[in-house]
Amino acid sequence: MSLEQTKALLTAPGAKFEMETVDIRGVPTRVWKNAPPSLRVLAQMVRAYGAREFTIYENERVTFEANYRATAHIARKLIEMGVGKGDRVALAMRNLPEWPAIFFAGVSIGAIMVPLNAWWTSGELEYAMKDSGAKLLFVDGERHERLKHCYAAAPDLERVVVSRAKGDLEAPAAALESLIGAVSDWTSLEDVGFPDADVAPDDDATIFYTSGTTGSPKGALGTHRNFVTNIMSSAYVAARTLLRRGDTPPAMPEPKVMLLVIPLFHVTACSAAMMGAVASGSTLVFMRKWDPELAMGIIQREKVNATGGVPTIAWQLLEHPARAKYDLSSLETIAYGGAPSAPELVKRIHQEFGALPANGWGMTETTATVTNHSGEDYLARPNSAGPPVAAADLKILSLEGESELPVGEVGELWARGPMIVKGYWNKPEATAETFVHGWVRTGDLARLDEEGFLFIVDRAKDIIIRGGENIYSSEVEDVLYAHPAVTDCALVGVPHRTLGEEPAAVVHLAPGKSATEAELQDWVRARLAGFKVPVQVRFVKDVLPRNANGKILKTELRALFAGEAVA
């Protein structure tokens, strides 16, 4: 069955994936007709799953009912603390059972949740708290220790709630456990229900920070519709894959067990993974820290059906010497995105695990999924990112944005649909530049084939993706330039077999000055998150090569590292 045939069948009037056109900020937009109207409604609907396990973290098991009760209690506590519609509530913690409860509590009362990258340094976290104007901050004990000296610098921050604190707390911090008890207590919480709130589909719901190629990080302002769209998009792709194979999609999604090893502060995990899991009654298994053998033990014990996140994870599972000791036969899908992946990986997942690979394309500005590539389609086109979901449109424009290019030609990818965020928080100029009448200019260089499959060719934005983590070259270059010995520098990506690529720096030192590779790495490490530190620093005698417009010729610089791909 062709893509057009599956689309016509699945989106027919009266079908589960029927679409309708609504006005979103003055732009007529196709949306999923049967999507939940808001994250508030979703958080209440899933109570129907009752005693089914929602999250598993080490020895902690939380049912949907227990999570519902905790979410309702947190929502009421937020109101008691003066949080109202439109107020920003920051959330900085590793994947823990309380993460989704806090998230859904905030959005259910109309607050704007601001998930912060738990790997950031205190300076990076402080910037986002100031920029978002967060009124309240939820942190785990680790982040609290890193951030407590920064609280006074965030003028809008009134209260801090700490989960799993490592010691005594001082104002403005209080323990989450004093508000709702420990995770093990959630089942016995009183059934207080959700507080009243008026939340509409296109109300603000989240701010996820994404660094730009210049300047400070930008907060992508997402709506409730953006997130509920992904629920339907994920289900649509699953049904499309079955139809393309010749099978009949089930009337209701079957609950699965998912090992979620990517952080919930990324839209890939929060939107693409968690939303579909919540809606289908699936179980999310969290790990404190990724370890391939520990993961294989979890897969065997919990009979995990799906995992992934970035290609690194799949490679490490495939190539671990202890793999034969574990029963991984429950795996049905290994999905990933956010980093380049080798066609060899696609074949090996299928051949050695008997699981079907899946990937997709999206970005923070699209609340994750726009295209999805799975099953036999992915095996047949391992270099593609798949076709768009039915509610999304893609087009390829010239780099000037003036003309649409024909099928097969490479240009800048533009995307449109109900998953596109409103814009950037408090950055009207950047918003106007990137979001154009419902379309987002992605900055990715790409092409589409005759059937609509997307192929990402390169990135117009100067970005390196290391194992799913975005590293924006200008941010690291600015730090290197601040070193007293550096007068010219550039960051480039060098290939890495499992991580996709890693950052490497080319540096020209000032006359009479000296610096070592280790010294510059330590310099960056002290100012930015560890994954942004260059793995290699190459020193050159002359200033870096530039074109007539003064732009550094990074293609020439990458040649300095040719043949040095890390295994």
Residues in Cβ contact with 437 at an 8 Å cutoff, skipping those fewer than 6 apart: 27
Q: What is the pLDDT of residues 99-119, one digit of tens each?
A: 999 999 999 999 999 999 988
Rounded mean pLDDT of 290-295? Answer: 94
298 phi and psi angles, rounded to 5 deg: -65, -40
User: What is the number of other CB atoms lying within 10 angstroms of the CB of residue 254?
Assistant: 10
Rounded mean pLDDT of 391-404? Answer: 93
How far apart CA 422 and CA 376 sit, in angstroms, is 35
The DSSP output letter for 261 is -
Residue 483's closest CA among 527, 523, 539?
A: 523
Task: Note whether 112 and 241 are same-domain residues.
Answer: no
How far apart CA 227 and CA 112 sit, in angstroms, is 13
Instruction: With respect to residue 441, please indicate whether it lies within any of the assigned structural domains.
Output: yes
How far apart CA 379 and CA 99 sit, in angstroms, is 35
Task: Note whether 416 and 476 are same-domain residues.
Answer: no
Average pLDDT score over the chain: 92
441, 459, 477 — which closes off a domain? 459
Domain CATH code at residue 555: 3.30.300.30
Instruction: With respect to residue 284, please indicate whether it lies within any of the assigned structural domains.
Output: yes
Task: Note whether 250 and 397 are same-domain residues.
Answer: yes
Task: Note whether 194 and 232 are same-domain residues.
Answer: no
Helix (H/G/I), strand (E/B), else coil: 368: strand
Split at pLDDT 50, 70, 90, the class of 139 is very high
Cβ atoms of 492 and 504 closer than 8 Å = yes
Domain CATH code at residue 155: 3.40.50.980
Residues in Cβ contact with 466 at an 8 Å cutoff, skipping those fewer than 6 apart: 339, 493, 496, 499, 500, 501, 502, 503, 531
Helix (H/G/I), strand (E/B), else coil: 224: helix
Q: What is the pLDDT of residues 78-87, one digit of tens each?
A: 999 999 999 9
How far apart CA 503 and CA 268 sit, in angstroms, is 22
Split at pLDDT 50, 70, 90, the class of 420 is very high
Instruction: With respect to residue 567, please indicate whether it lies within any of the assigned structural domains.
Output: no
User: Does residue 400 surpass a pLDDT of 90?
Assistant: no
User: Does residue 94 surpass a pLDDT of 50?
Assistant: yes
How far apart CA 509 and CA 516 sit, in angstroms, is 10
How far apart CA 67 and CA 102 sit, in angstroms, is 10
Tell the residue number behind the tokens 């220790």, with chain if given: 145
What pLDDT is stored for residue 567 in this prediction?
35
438, 459, 480 — which closes off a domain? 459
Residues in Cβ contact with 88 at an 8 Å cutoff, skipping those fewer than 6 apart: 111, 112, 113, 114, 132, 133, 134, 135, 156, 207
Dihedral, CA of residue 276, residue 278, residue 281 and residue 287, to nearest 10: 100
User: 546 has which bridge partners?
Assistant: 552
User: Does residue 563 surpass a pLDDT of 80?
Assistant: no
Task: Note whether 434 and 500 are same-domain residues.
Answer: no
For residue 279, with 0-12 CB atoms within 10 Å meaning exposed, 13-18 middle and 19 or more buried, which class applies?
buried
Greatest C-alpha distance within the chain: 75
How far apart CA 551 and CA 527 sit, in angstroms, is 25
Going along 211-332, which residue ranges are E strands? Answer: 218-223, 257-260, 283-286, 306-309
The DSSP output letter for 546 is B
Rounded mean pLDDT of 444-464? Answer: 85
Cβ atoms of 467 and 339 closer than 8 Å = yes
Instruction: With respect to residue 23, please indicate whether it lies within any of the assigned structural domains.
Output: no
Instruction: With respect to residue 24, please indicate whether it lies within any of the assigned structural domains.
Output: no
The DSSP output letter for 246 is T
- Is the model more confident about 458 or about 196? 196
Task: Note whether 556 and 442 are same-domain residues.
Answer: no
User: Does residue 372 surpass a pLDDT of 70?
Assistant: yes
Report for 6-10, 458-462, 468-472: range of highest mean pLDDT: 6-10
Q: Which of 60-69, 127-136, 335-344, 370-379 has the lowest mean pLDDT?
A: 335-344
Tell me whether strands 53-57 and 283-286 are parallel, antiparallel or unpaired: parallel
Task: Note whether 446 and 541 are same-domain residues.
Answer: no
What pLDDT is stored for residue 78 in this prediction?
98
Report the percentage of the chain scoring pLDDT > 90.
70
What pLDDT is stored for residue 68 in this prediction?
98
How far apart CA 117 and CA 266 sit, in angstroms, is 8
Cβ atoms of 500 and 466 closer than 8 Å = yes
Cβ atoms of 367 and 222 closer than 8 Å = yes
Task: Note whether 488 and 403 are same-domain residues.
Answer: no
Residues in Cβ contact with 132 at an 8 Å cutoff, skipping those fewer than 6 apart: 88, 90, 112, 114, 207, 219, 425
Q: Which of 75-79, 208-212, 493-497 has the lowest mean pLDDT?
A: 208-212
Rounded mean pLDDT of 352-373? Answer: 92
Task: Note whether 130 and 238 are same-domain residues.
Answer: no
Instruction: With respect to residue 246, please indicate whether it lies within any of the assigned structural domains.
Output: yes
Task: Note whether 247 and 159 are same-domain residues.
Answer: no
User: What is the number of other CB atoms lying within 10 angstroms of the CB of residue 464?
Assistant: 24
What pLDDT is stored for residue 441 in this prediction?
96
- Is the model more confident about 475 or about 275? 275
How far apart CA 140 and CA 107 sit, in angstroms, is 20
User: Does residue 418 surpass a pLDDT of 50?
Assistant: yes
Instruction: With respect to residue 208, please indicate whether it lies within any of the assigned structural domains.
Output: no
The DSSP output letter for 207 is E
Instruction: With respect to residue 29, please indicate whether it lies within any of the assigned structural domains.
Output: no
Which string of b and e fits 101-129 if b means at least 16 CB within 10 Å?
A: bbbbbbbbbbbbbbbbbbebbeebbbbbb
Task: Note whether 318 and 427 are same-domain residues.
Answer: yes
164, 199, 234 — which closes off a domain? 199
Q: What are the angstrom distances between the C-alpha of 343 and each of 205, 347, 381?
A: 37, 7, 9
Q: What sections of 81-221 are H helices per DSSP?
A: 98-108, 122-132, 141-147, 177-180
Split at pLDDT 50, 70, 90, the class of 548 is very low
Task: Note whether 138 and 188 are same-domain residues.
Answer: yes
Domain CATH code at residue 391: 3.40.50.12780
Residue 542 sits in which domain range? 463-561
Helix (H/G/I), strand (E/B), else coil: 27: strand
The single-letter code of the amino acid at 187 is T
Q: Per the structure, how many domains does the chain have?
A: 3
Report the percentage of the chain scoring pLDDT > 70.
96
